[in-house]
Structure 1
Amino acid sequence: MASPGPSSPPPGRSGRRRLPAASNSGVLPPDLLFDVLLRLPAKELCRLRAVCRSWRSLTSDPLFVGEHAARHSDPLFLANFRDDEAHIHVVDLSGNVVKVIPNPDGHQLLTTRLDLACAATVSNSCRVLDPATRRVRVLPESPAPEHADRENVRKPYTYFALGRIGAAGEYKVLRMFSRHTLTGLHQHHLFEVFTISGASGSCSSHAQWRARLSHGEFVEPGSAIVVGEVVYFKVDTVYDAMTGGGVNHGIPLDCIYSLDLEREEWRGTLQGPIHDIFQTDEYDDYLDDHRALWSEITLADLRGSLALVHYRKYQHIMDLWLLKDFDNGRWVKEYRIQIEPSFPTTEWCVKALCMLDDGRIVIHFPKTGLLFIYDPRTNTSAQVEMRCLDALAMYTGNLLSLQVGDMV
């Protein structure tokens, strides 16, 4: 039988590759050291890396990183705490801080579910960061060449959205300028895209924003949510106000617009479930009720499905409608969540909502900064003891990874 070649590492216990014996100076057998390190949380391993280069090499081994992730599968989040604008914190669901990332200019996290994160301000400043390495890419503020001469294009308010293109292994940032020009009763936004390459590619230092076709109707940039490779938007509040003033352009208030990030093209208009909501809930079928209802609704990514979140504050009830069929506009009310009655009624809507692997649903309310978890198995909700939150994002990466994408 032929002996293994020099590039084939000798198997360790349970067929695993042994770590180099020299890396622990002979203190422990490699397999035992492997097991001891696997038990440590990522927070402790990151500290070891900071003080010793050999530990950094050992804990960065792809085999070790994979097995550690399998053992430590508890969800992690990125948080902007209200009492600390100068940092972004990686936290677990108990509120324990795992890692701290500098955020000197007080950028606020976008609601994402990725292994990278995006933080921005309304004054056109945006950063994409890798929590594992703390690498940050500051995106240029200059507009795309086609928009260079457009009035107010570099003034507030500016909105951003970050998505990952699976097939290409790259990330794209969508920028939306909401300082627009009104021609009669028509509203106009500017849209641009910036690409950050994945691990297989590179990103030119001269990369710039690319102008993309604006939507002809009333898109609300601040409502953007990315689900997979698609960005979804509600109808703009300006159109809502116009409708309330008696001007009706024939666009239903529960229209949802969508942009395909991979193709960088607008898709067809999606009809929301407002008609179904009025049929199943106690509302009077008047325009004012429609408008009030739509203001209580936010969009969310529920583990890869577009969700419409309807929170009725005085009843402490939250209904979650999931999109089942885009082409036919079919929505299904999957969950009715009863928030604890002690919850204050000052909230109008949800700021961030996500589903964990075990089916529990995490809910962030923006005004109070509180976090709740709903468990559909027991039909109960409970508040998470955590510092007040300004923004929350779900982190799907691995803090031990040394390279998620090219952030140069």
Structure 2
Amino acid sequence: MAPAGPRSPARKRIKTAPGVTLPPDMLFEVFLNLPASSVCRFRTVCRSCPRSWHVDLVDLAGTVARRTPLAESGARELLTCGDLACLIGTGNGIARVLDPATGAVTVLPPGLSEENKAGEGWGRRESFHVVAYAFGRVSSTGEYKLLRLVRLLRYTPSCGSGLVAEVLTLGDPRWRSRRSPLVLVAADRMDSMAVIDGVVYFLALQIEQLPFFVNNSVSAEPGSIASFNLETEEWMPILRGSLNGRQPQLLTLTELNGFFVTVHSDRCQRSSMDLWFLNDSKQKTWVKRYSIRLDLCPRRRVFSTHPLFADDRKILLLVRPKGVLMVYDLQTGSCKDLDHINCVPVSLYKGSMLSSRSVQD
């Protein structure tokens, strides 16, 4: 058994059945574009389709150090923090916290907070929609917390029709309602948010760019960032981004080596990106540390590349929507696949695997 290093991407994979004649890449593309209910119907064709989901913890060489089977198929996102990982189900599916070292799984409560239950409506099958989850830890107490942004499907005078924030502390089986974001945030994509040192960052939206009317909302400057403090459970002042008056580009957010990073990509050629690091959150100083020019084959159908890890020699990239992991060499400018296995959600695990056991298939 090869132990996982301190920076190992935890990823969720599909195990292909021997009887499947279609190429795995083609099957993956089909499943990726189907709702969970339709995927589950494939049980009548191939029983391994809904039963083959699991979480793999691998090192950067591609060696699997731990495999954890999942009882429920399908996951929208995989979030990691410290020694734990959080799996978010598709739609309003169940959220579960996983300890990769022991395999223990904790199911989180799916309902609304007591304060927001007034927005559930009468006899509606779905009363709310969870737009985004964030998973982090408070450094002063060591508590793990989850933040979720919820859109109520029934108008309430206290919340209006926008997003409401709810917080849960692991070990406390209830959600708590908190203030709504100060501005509109891009919460529907995981690359529009990042968690660093107990603070959740969201990319702010500009009202003028939206195709619909939004009432009682404040417009933000291009590239602005909203942030939520998990310790105080309050929204912080709006942070000015790294654009500094430049022409807005395709912006995404990530965390690299403990720093908050904004990724500037060319709208026409997304294989070109610049990585800006927030050196001082108080002084709001940004520094561009990396410029990447990728030579990607058109057959990959690349929609986006998301940085997961960086050091002095390489940058680990997740290529969506196929879930391919690639390593970019900073000295040569070359790029190669880490392996040839497609993943769905991928996240970086920095916890300890001292109690890890041998891999079980």
- Answer whether TM exceeds 0.5 for this pair: yes
How many Å apart are 1:89 and its aligned residue? Answer: 0.9
1:76 Cα deviation (Å)?
A: 1.9
Number of the residue aligned with 2:30: none
1:337 paired to 2:292 = yes
Which amino acid counterpart does residue 235 of structure 1 have in structure 2? A
Equivalent of residue 212 in structure 1, options 149, 157, 178: 178
The answer on 1:80 being equivalent to 2:47 is no
Match status 1:132 vs 2:87 = no
**Contact 1:311–1:349 under 8 Å retained in 2:** no
Q: Secondary structure at the match of 2:304?
A: coil
Q: Distance in 2 between matches of 1:211 and 1:366?
A: 33
Q: CA deviation at 1:385?
A: 1.8
Structure 1 letter corresponding to 2:263: V
TM-score by length of 2: 0.75
Q: Greater CA radius of gyration, 1 or 2?
A: 1
Correspondence for 1:169 among 120, 126, 142: 142
5 Å matches for 1:8-407?
41-42=2-3, 73=5, 75-82=7-14, 86-105=53-72, 106-121=74-89, 122-151=91-120, 154-179=127-152, 188-196=162-170, 203=171, 207-222=173-188, 223-236=192-205, 240-242=209-211, 250-275=219-244, 277-278=246-247, 290=248, 293=249, 296-312=250-266, 314=269, 316-342=271-297, 344=299, 346-350=301-305, 352-356=306-310, 360-401=314-355
How far is the alpha carbon of 1:355 from its aligned partner?
A: 2.2
- Counterpart secondary structure, 2:210: helix
The Cα of 1:98 is off from its aligned counterpart by 2.0
Structure 1 residue matching 2:289: 3-state secondary structure: strand
Q: Give, in whole Å, the separation in 1 of the partners of 2:340 and 2:81.
A: 20
Change (3 A) 1:358 1:307: same
**Distance change (3 Å), C-alpha of 1:74 and 1:136:** closer
**Root-mean-square deviation (Å):** 3.1
The secondary structure found in structure 1 opposite 2:119 is: coil
CA contact 2:120–2:128 (8 Å) conserved in 1? no
Q: Structure 1 residues 252 and 140, CA, compared in 2 at 3 Å: closer, same or farther?
A: same
Superposition deviation, residue 212 in structure 1: 1.1
| Number of residue pairs matched by the alignment | 308
1:224 Cα offset (Å): 2.5
Deviations 1:171-220 (A, max 9, x none): 1011211346689xx86211111112xxxxxx35xx31111111232122
Conserved? CA contact 1:180–1:189, under 8 Å: no
Q: Distance in 2 between matches of 1:244 and 1:329?
A: 31
Do the aligned partners of 2:206 and 2:221 also contact (CA within 8 Å) in 1? no
Q: Give the Cα–Cα distance (whole angstroms) in 1 for the partners of residues 270 and 310 of structure 2.
A: 25
TM-score normalised over the length of structure 1 = 0.67
Q: Distance in 1 between the 2:312 and 2:65 partners?
A: 21
| Distance in 2 between residues matched to 1:315 and 1:86, nearest whole Å | 30
| 8 Å contact kept, 1:86–1:102 | yes
CA contact under 8 A between 2:207 and 2:219: conserved in structure 1? Answer: no
In the alignment, what sits opposite 1:56? none
Aligned mates of 1:259, 1:303 — CA distance in 2: 20
The SS at the match of 2:187 is strand
Q: Residue 146 of structure 2 aligns to a residue in which SS?
A: strand
Seen in structure 2, the aligned counterparts of structure 1 residues 393 and 250 have a Cα distance that, compared at 3 Å, is: closer
Contact 1:306 1:322 in 2 (8 A): yes
Q: Which runs of 5+ in 2 are unaligned?
A: 17-51, 357-361
Distance of aligned partners of 1:262 and 1:344 in 2 relative to their CA distance in 1, 3 Å threshold: farther
Residue 345 of structure 1, CA deviation: 7.2
Q: Deviations over 1:204-263 (max 9, x none)?
A: 5xx311111112321222333211110000124876314899xx9642232110001111
**Cα distance change, pair 264–359 in 1 and its aligned pair in 2 (3 A):** farther
Structure with greater proportional helix content: 1
Q: Secondary structure at the match of 1:77?
A: strand
Alignment CA distance shift 1:235-1:243 (3 Å)? farther
> When you count strand as a share of all residues, which structure comes out higher?
2
Deviation at 1:303, TM superposition (A): 1.3
Change (3 A) 1:145 1:250: closer
